[in-house]
Structure 1
């Protein structure tokens, strides 16, 4: 018995572990059962909700189908087209939803996940049906509201038409008065706007007459004609606003022309002085041409007062051309002045480099070839040009070429001496 004392505690431990394991398994099974029960209840509630929504969606499609026929009889097929297209889309979604419901109703067993997925899809399809039909029916409701308000809108539009016609008559009189003072070109834009306003007014009148006729014929839609009339009156008013602005615009253009003429006169005086003082012949010549083009514009301006817009634009263009020519003269003078300042230093550098090259040639006299001698001769020739040239830019370029050729001659002489 003494040898089996260790067995008892071991059996007790194993028994306790077994009890814990069994308790755990039983607990997990109970949790799984409760969870499955909760899932089944949730799936059942989702399926029940989907069925109810499917019934409501089916009723909505049937009602909308009838509404299409009513709308066609009331407004015509064009107006009812949006609702008819929405009904067609809804029928497609409804067929898919019924197919999924049929799967749910089958005797065949399906997993809880499948049933939840199908029920959710049915709910989503029903939402799409209600949304599409609601949007289309809202547009139709707005159309009916517009038709019901047509009788009240018509008098206001007639009053608006009368006011726009008064403005048109006043605009025509304004143009007749301005024709005695201004050229046709100056009034061309305003004349065009007046003509367009007249055509828009005619279109508004025709649309309003159509509304009046349709109001006496039950079932005839009038909202489109009312909309056309309102749009036409708006466009006519915008065109007339352009006509009404023409007189102050002409006055502003004439004032701007006077200011441009004064500025051009002052610039011409400055340009003549710059031309006479310019040392660059090409720039001075170009400035002279610009002066010649601009000067006649200041002569006989009263004879050109018939088109202030064109006169203002001509003066502005002349000022622009004159300013470009003056800027060219200034750039040329700056270039010449810079060249004059740099020339003495460039000549000194060339003289120094030629002296160095000559010394190198003396040291390598027996070995210097024709290349070195030719470059030195060219350097001396370019230095002579730099000393004689009246144009400082050309003289500066020659001095720089002289220094470069002398540097080449020195390098060639050194090379010949090293490789003799």
Structure 2
């Protein structure tokens, strides 16, 4: 009976486990079939993408062959050299892509990995070929538009040449005016801009004249390069002249900042002089005098009416001088505050020392013969230190001495009371 009870549940367990294994296997096969269908769908999609890209690239190569011929006839082979090289490179890529497509289409068996690799290669080759030719075609379309609009563009360039020439004269006048106020070092970043702008303007005028001559002759020669050269020259000249205007604004702003800083420096110097005149320490007064003289000299030089200013350098020099003045003034103010605090504390320290000395002296007098020499010696030193503190002119030193007198008096009192026990 026991054996039967043991075997029946075991069979049930093993039977259940087998069913689970079968179920898991079925699920795994189903997932495998699903993944296989997804992979095939993805692969089919890439194959279609490769076919579309290849057809588009072949159409572009065929179409741009005509465009290249038109461009060579209009602009010449030198101007279309890059276009021709791009067309040859794209045509080779399309030919290579067709060769790969043929390998995919033939009956020879290939592995799936090879098919995927060739498909991706076809897409890359076709896309590169299309992009290269599209960019070249866009460039020459722009050139043709430039040639078509050349008369109108030439009129615009001539008007711009006139305006820029007027700006060159204005820039020259601005630099001359600025030279009366600002130092050469301040004008250095823009001082050569007029000469460089005039050179760029001359290049633009030559290119414009060359384009105009071709148009006047009704020549078939393209003028786009000359128009672009003129445009570039005018752009460079404009940027150089813009820098003069911007530089002038920055110089004026810097000079205004320097003027305000000089006014602030006057206030700083006035405060430093007041502190010097009221300070109790000779050393502090001497140091204040030194930095005041340095700052005063710098301020005077920067304010000299005949001096040409370099606002940035002048501001840096003034800030360095006033910075040194601030440091010394702060140190002197702290030393004066220390004196004033010591003077206030000295009054209390002297009163405390006198009181303790009096109490100790009275205690010793009340116990004649019983208090030994150590206590009496410390009391005598306390009285001597108190006398020195009273005579000391320096409140800080006087405070330290008064505190020593208090310490000796306290020690003397303790020793005297110990002796009388």
2:133 is matched with 133
Are the structure 2 counterparts of residues 160 and 395 from structure 1 closer, same or farther at C-alpha, using a change threshold of 3 Å? farther
Q: CA RMSD in A?
A: 5.8
2:86–2:133 CA contact under 8 A, matched in 1: no
Alpha-carbon deviation of 1:240?
4.2
Spell out, residue by residue over 1:331-389, the C-alpha distance to the aligned partner (whole angstroms, 9 max, x if none).
3334555666778999999xx9xxxxxxxxxxxxxxxxxxxxxxxxxxx9xx99x9698
Alpha-carbon deviation of 1:289?
0.8
Are the structure 2 counterparts of residues 278 and 214 from structure 1 closer, same or farther at C-alpha, using a change threshold of 3 Å? same
Structure 1-normalised TM-score?
0.58
2:157–2:231 CA contact under 8 A, matched in 1: no
Match of 2:255 among 232, 238, 253: 253
Alpha-carbon deviation of 1:154?
2.4
Mapped to 2, the partners of 1:141 and 1:394 lie a distance apart of 94
Equivalent pairs counted in the alignment come to 351
1:232 is matched with 236
Spell out, residue by residue over 1:66-86, the C-alpha distance to the aligned partner (whole angstroms, 9 max, x if none).
756765772765775377358
Alpha-carbon deviation of 1:238?
0.7
Mapped to 1, the partners of 2:340 and 2:83 lie a distance apart of 79
Alpha-carbon deviation of 1:271?
1.6
* 1:276 corresponds to 2:277: yes
Alpha-carbon deviation of 1:206?
2.0
1:326 is matched with 329
2:276–2:289 CA contact under 8 A, matched in 1: yes
Are the structure 2 counterparts of residues 201 and 339 from structure 1 closer, same or farther at C-alpha, using a change threshold of 3 Å? same
1:207–1:229 CA contact under 8 A, matched in 2: yes
Match of 2:210 among 197, 210, 213: 213
1:137-286 equivalence runs, <5 A = 137-173=137-173, 182=180, 185-186=182-183, 189=186, 193=190, 195-215=192-212, 216=214, 218-220=221-223, 221-242=225-246, 245=249, 249=252, 253=255, 257=259, 259-286=260-287
> Which consecutive unaligned segments of at least 5 residues does structure 1 have?
1-31, 353-379, 403-420
> Which consecutive unaligned segments of at least 5 residues does structure 2 have?
1-31, 357-381, 406-421
1:290 is matched with 291
Structure 2-normalised TM-score?
0.58
1:71–1:77 CA contact under 8 A, matched in 2: no
Mapped to 2, the partners of 1:116 and 1:293 lie a distance apart of 82
1:279–1:333 CA contact under 8 A, matched in 2: yes
Which piece of structure 1 moves more, 113-122 or 266-275? 113-122
Alpha-carbon deviation of 1:209?
1.9
Alpha-carbon deviation of 1:274?
0.5
2:265–2:322 CA contact under 8 A, matched in 1: yes
